[in-house]
Amino acid sequence: MTTAQLDADILRNLGIIAKDENRLDKVAKYLRRVVKQMTEDPILMSKEEFLARVEKAEQQYARGEYTTQQPGESLEDMLKRCGYAI
């Protein structure tokens, strides 16, 4: 289903639910919960935040501030060596 089709389906169903105040209240509470979860997700960021992080990383790389994986070293070991809690 496309986004437009999903949107139309949701609006059509909301029109039906709107006739029952109790069910409409339940739907509204559910939607607020979903939105709250989306806004609390620590990995969500705006495009601007993402691009700023990429720019910062590029600058650090240009200054030689990076870590390379040693021969025979696992990715997990390298991350531990860099101070990440694994």
3-state secondary structure the chain: CCHHHHHHHHHHHHHHHCCCHHHHHHHHHHHHHHHHHHHHCCCCCCHHHHHHHHHHHHHHHHCCCCCCCCCCCCHHHHHHHCCCCC
For residues 51 and 28, state if they share a domain: no
For residues 26 and 55, state if they share a domain: no
* Count of domains forming the chain: 2
Would you say residue 86 lies in a domain? no
pLDDT of residue 40: 76
pLDDT exceeds cutoff 90 at 36: no
pLDDT of residue 86: 81
Would you say residue 57 lies in a domain? yes
Which residues form the domain of 74?
Answer: 47-81
Residues in contact with 70: Cβ distance below 8 Å, sequence separation at least 6, in sequence order: 78
Would you say residue 7 lies in a domain? yes
pLDDT exceeds cutoff 80 at 12: yes
Kindly state the average pLDDT of the residues 48-76: 94
pLDDT exceeds cutoff 90 at 45: no
Residue 59 token pair: 């600058």
pTM here?
0.43
Would you say residue 61 lies in a domain? yes
